[in-house]
Chains A and B, each alone.
Chain A
Amino acid sequence: MRYLRLWRRFFAQAVVRETHYRAHFLTTLLVGLVQLGLGIVPTLLLFGFTEEVHGWSRAEVIALVGVYQVITGLMATFIAPNLNRMTSYLTEGELDAVLLRPVSSQFYLTFRWINVAELSNVASGIIVLAFGLVQSGLTPSIGQVLQSIVLATCGLVLLTAVWSAMVYLAFWLQSVGPIGVVYLNLVEAGRYPLTFFPVPVRSFLTFVFPVAFATTYPVQALSGSLGWGSVALGIGLSAIAVLLIRLLWQRGLRTYASASS
């Protein structure tokens, strides 16, 4: 509860900050729109050559691109500004000041900074999702929408956990700037339905780099082809991931030897 109140403060401060940099908001919006447009080009070209791929129609894949845009927008708003700072937290010794604060250091490092402008990508993603749903003629029930939201949330938690694990390597490697680039390139796989990949890659994208929970499963839930079993699996995996990431953080912290002393 205290953490929720604290996070609300972070958010309010970020909104105030954003109003100082209005041009930044505009360029983020423009770049986001262009990237969304370009990201959809391969999908449109692909469905120019065929009607459906493994049971996915063009409209359903467009809905999936919308979900992808929402998820990556949320990650870019709430998670990326924090995890991208990991190297400087460790090499500049900024972590010292964090450890002294009366809050969980891991909470603070994961949620402190918020890039409000990226929320514009979430908005454009919702529009694309709605467009895709209307085009495909899907009318999800309340239960299916609920399933979808729970699965997308699991996807967010899982992606955050995997990305965190990648940047926590900084405790042992010192500099992890390039690892963020690997994450961003791998997450691109979420633009496409899981079944577009060969079977071994599917397991990789479900259990190792679980982008499937962020995009494919939520859309499948909306189209009604997913049971509560997958939801349970998502929640279970998320719980395990959070647990593991807590342990990894504690292990890493033990090797931290402050930059100044």
Chain B
Amino acid sequence: MKRNLRVLQRMIAAEVAQQSIYRGAWVIFMLANICTPIISLLIWRTALANGARLPVDQRYITTYFVLLGFATMATSSWMAGFLANDIRLGKLSSWMIRPASLLIGFVANNLSEKFLKLFALVPMIGLVWWIFRDSMNVPAGAGRWALFFVTLALGAILVFTIDILIAAFAFWMDDVSALVQARVIIGSVLSGSVVPLALMPEWSRGFIDYQPYRYTVSFPVEIVAGNLSGSELLTGLGVQLGYVVAVGLLARVVWAAGIRAYSAVGA
């Protein structure tokens, strides 16, 4: 464990050095990242101003969409396709003989890219926040913000393990790109990245509130934007922790079975 952490630290440093060459690209990527939330924000504000009777107010909508870009970036994972390729092409073998966990390279890549993206994204979010400062919900206590970051971290772990799970199918299937694409499309709606889950129709409530994707993006943002009561917060946190543990265990079992089934190409 301790050695893994030390290796991880070194790999992150190396990745940061490598990726910072493309700093211009990160700025442009983050610009693209906040386009969609801003378009949605403007649309829903217009609807509200035009007399639409939404179950949430303008402050909720504004805070939600301003923070959304940050939450989707912080909890994103893009490794499923890459990991599946490594499995299919036998590149996994060179990782297996190293004295550290197989997946540590992917963890390092994930963390270092997010670290660099922060520098581009935070000023942009700050600017949008400033523009809409009059209708932002800012929780008084530091507690909500602390919870925001804790649940973001848990959400990031959840997304990452879902990705491991999907990539692990490559041990048995030739092409998982359709699975990856399905995950992205389903996730974008159910995680609240397209429309706030609070605006989903009443009949879908029970399902929407307890499906795992809510805990990848929407839940952390709801903590800041909304007025979740104390008990709702606790249940949410419990459900999120439950999903992290459950998906984590599942991913571990599937991954272990996959490694046993793995027959390195070219060996």
Answer whether A49 and B52 are a contact pair too, CB < 8 Å, given A196-B42, A198-B42, A201-B42.
yes
Interface status of B28 (Cβ within 8 A of chain A): yes
Instruction: Provide the bound-state CA to CA distance between A185 and B194, in Å.
Output: 13
Q: Does B253 contact A (CB under 8 A)?
A: no
Q: A45-B195, A50-B47, A50-B51 are known contacts. Are A178 and B36 too (CB-CB below 8 A)?
A: no
CB pair B52–A42 under 8 Å, yes or no, is: no
Cα A45 to Cα B202 with chains together (Å): 11
B28–A53 CB distance below 8 A? no
Number of interface residues of A (CB under 8 A): 31
**B95 close to A (CB within 8 Å):** no
Which residue of chain A is the closest to B181 with respect to CB atoms?
Answer: A31
Is B46's CB within 8 Å of the partner chain A?
A: yes
Of A33-41, A70-78, A103-111, A217-225, which stretch is located at the interface?
A33-41
Contacts of A197 in B (CB 8 A): 42-43, 46
* Contacting residues, chain B, for A198 (C-beta < 8 A): 42, 46
Contact partner of A41 (CB less than 8 A), chosen from B35, B36, B47, B194, is B194
Q: Which of A120-170 contact B (CB under 8 A)?
A: none
Judged by a CB distance under 8 angstroms, whether B44 is at the interface is: yes
Q: Which residues of A contact B25 (CB under 8 A)?
A: 175, 177-178
Does A188 touch B at the CB level, under 8 Å?
yes
Bound CA–CA A175/B24 (angstroms): 10
A interface SS class: helix
Interface residues of B: mostly helix, strand, loop or mixed?
A: helix
Enumerate chain A residues within 8 angstroms of B32, measured Cβ to Cβ.
Answer: 178, 181-182, 184-185
Q: Is A27 an interface residue (CB 8 A)?
A: yes
Smallest distance from the beta carbon of A68 to chain B beta carbons, Å?
A: 13
Q: Does A48 contact B (CB under 8 A)?
A: yes
Q: Kindly report which residue of chain A lies nearest to residue B31, judged by CB atoms.
A: A182
Within 8 A of A (CB), among B182-208: 185, 188-189, 194-195, 199-201
In angstroms, Cα B45 to Cα A192, docked, is 13
Check: B40 CB closer than 8 A to any chain A CB.
Answer: yes
CB distance from B202 to the nearest CB of A (A): 10
Chain B residue at minimum C-beta to C-beta distance from A34: B185
Q: Is B29 part of the binding interface, using a Cβ–Cβ cutoff of 8 Å?
A: yes
Cβ of B178 under 8 Å from chain A: yes
In the bound assembly, the distance between CA atoms of A221 and B50 in angstroms comes to 23
Bits for A168-206, please: 1 = Cβ < 8 Å to B, else 0.
000001010111011011101100100011100100000
B81 vs chain A, min Cβ distance (A)? 15
Query: Contacts A50-B50, A178-B28, A185-B32 hold; do A42 and B43 have CB atoms under 8 A apart?
Result: yes
**Docked CA distance A184–B189 (Å):** 18
Is B5's CB within 8 Å of the partner chain A? no
CB-nearest residue of chain B to A27: B178
CA of A161 to CA of B54, assembled, Å? 39
Given A54-B50, A181-B28, A188 contacting B35 (CB threshold 8 A): yes
Identity of the chain B residue whose Cβ is nearest the Cβ of A198 in the assembled complex = B42
Asked if B173 lies at the interface with its beta carbon under 8 angstroms from chain A, I say no
Give the nearest-CB partner of A43 in chain B: B43
Does A12 sit at the interface, judged by CB under 8 A? Answer: no
Question: Using a CB-CB cutoff of 8 Å, which residues 40-62 of chain A contact chain B?
Answer: 41-42, 45-46, 48-50, 53-54
Q: Which residue of A lies closest to B39 (CB)?
A: A189
Chain A positions within 8 Å of B181 at CB level: 31
Q: Which residues in window 1-55 of B have CB below 8 A to A?
A: 22, 24-25, 28-29, 31-33, 35-36, 39-40, 42-44, 46-47, 50-54
**Distance in Å: Cβ of B221 to nearest Cβ of chain A:** 17
| New A-B contacts (11) at CB < 8 Å, excluding given A53-B52, A181-B32 | A27-B178, A42-B194, A46-B47, A49-B54, A50-B51, A178-B29, A179-B28, A182-B32, A186-B35, A192-B39, A196-B43
The 3 A-B residue pairs whose C-beta atoms are closest, nearest first, are A50-B52, A185-B35, A178-B28
20 A-B pairs, CB-CB below 8 angstroms? Answer: A34-B185, A35-B185, A41-B195, A45-B195, A45-B200, A49-B52, A50-B47, A50-B50, A175-B25, A178-B25, A178-B29, A178-B32, A181-B28, A185-B33, A188-B36, A192-B43, A196-B42, A196-B43, A196-B47, A197-B46
